Structure 1
Amino acid sequence: MSIPLKKDTTFRRAVTPQEQLLITLRYIATGQTYTSLHVTFRIGKSTVAGIVVRTSRILWTRLRARYMPVPDTTKWEEIAQGFWTECKFPNCVGALDGKHIRIQKPVGSGSHYFNYKKYFSIVLMAVADADYKFVYVDVGSYGSSNDSGIFQRTTLCRLMEEGRLRLPRDRPWPGTRAPAYPYVFVGDEAFALSDHVMRPYPDRGLDASQLHFNARLSRARRMTT
C-alpha cells in the first residue's frame, strides 16, 4: 500500500504523494487544524481531511512492523533491563497509562465520549519502555471509559491472560535468589492489580517499605508522561 498518485485534470492540479505526506506530517507534528492547513496549502478542507486520514492509515500499515513490532521474549528481557538500569524497578516490561485526546462530539454519540474532565475525547492506551518509546498502543476507546476497563479490552491484555504474550519466565529480582516473581507492567491506581499488572499501594496509612515501593513504581511509571 502506498500514497496514491492522482492525475491532473482540466480544472485542477492533482495533489502529489509528496504533498500528501507533507500535509499529514505537518498535521501530526504541529496540531494545525484542517482549516489552517487548507489555507496554507490552498487545498479544500475536505480534501485535507481525506489526505490526513488516508495517509496516516498508510503510514501505520507500512511502518508499524518496523518501528513497533510485537515484542518477543528477548525484547521483553531487554525492556526489563532498561527499567532496572534507569529506574531500579525489577522485572518491569512496560509503563502503562491512558491519555485522553480531545475531539469534537461525534453526531449521535450521546455521552459515550464525554470524560470525567468534562470534555469529549477518545483514549490512547499505551505501553512505553524505559527510553520513552511506545511498545504498544490502542487508540479509539470512548472517553467515558476508565483506564482499567479499556486495558481489559485490548489485544495486549487478551494475549497476556491467554499466556501468549511471550513474557520471560518468572525469575528472582536482581541481587536475590528466591522466590521467583513474574514480569509486570506498572500503572497507576486506575488499573486492576493482577499477576502481570502492578499498581501502587493506596495512599493511606503506609509504612516506610510501602512508601519506598510506591516511589520506585512512580519512578518507572513516569516513562508514559
Structure 2
Amino acid sequence: MTIRLLIVDDDPLVRAGLTLMLGGAEDIEIVGEASDGDEVAQLALERRPDVVLMDIRMPRVDGLTATGTLRARPDAPEVIVLTTFHADEQVLRALRAGAAGFVLKDTPPAEIVSAVRRVAAGDPVLSPAVTRRLMAQVAGAAAAPGDRTARARARLALLAEREREVAVAVGRGHSNAEISARLYLSVPTVKTHVSRVLAKLGLNNRVQIALLVHDAGLLDGPDGDVG
C-alpha cells in the first residue's frame, strides 16, 4: 500500500530535503508541497494525502491552525508536526488539536520514514514519556493544574470502568496487544474499547487519550486507577 504524503514547510531547502529523503521510499508517494499553512486545506482536498508533515512555525498560518482545520474534517489525514524544538508549547497544542505526534527536523532520515509509516498505520509517533516531559515544561499555560485535573477527570468519568482502564493503559504507552494481556481482553475487544473512548470523548487519536489521562493525574498510580 502506497502512503500519500503532503509536505508543509516555509523553507524550500527543508521541503527539498524531505522530498528527496522520503521520495526514495518505495511505499511513500509525495503528492504535494505547501509553503505555508494557508495552502494546506485546498491541497489536502485536491491531493488526498494519508499523512501530512507539518511545520509548526510559518509566517501566515501556523501549523497549529492548519492541523486543527485538517483534523476537524471527515476522513482527515494524519498529521506529524515538524519542529526544531523538543519542548515547544505550540507542539503540545498541535497534539491537542489532533496531530499524531512530532519529529524534530534533525531526526535521522530513516526515523522520519519510519514515523510516516507508523502514523499511516494508525500508531502515534510520540511516546508517553515525551508527552509527559513536554507537558511538564509548558504546564499551566492554559489553566491552573487543579482546574485541568478536575476537567480531565470529569471527562474520563463519562467512560465505563473497562473503557477507563483501557484509556489509562493507552496513556502508559501500551500497545493493543499489551493491553490485551494486562486486562485479559482479546485484541479486537481492546480495539473496540479504544474506538469507544475516542468517540465518547471526542478525541482524534491515542496521543490525545494519553494527554487527557496525563491531565487527570493517572499515570503515576496503578493501571486503571481513576479514583
TM-score range, shorter chain: under 0.3
- Higher Cα Rg, which structure: 1
| Structure with greater proportional helix content | 2
State TM-score, norm by structure 2. Answer: 0.27
TM-score (norm 1): 0.27
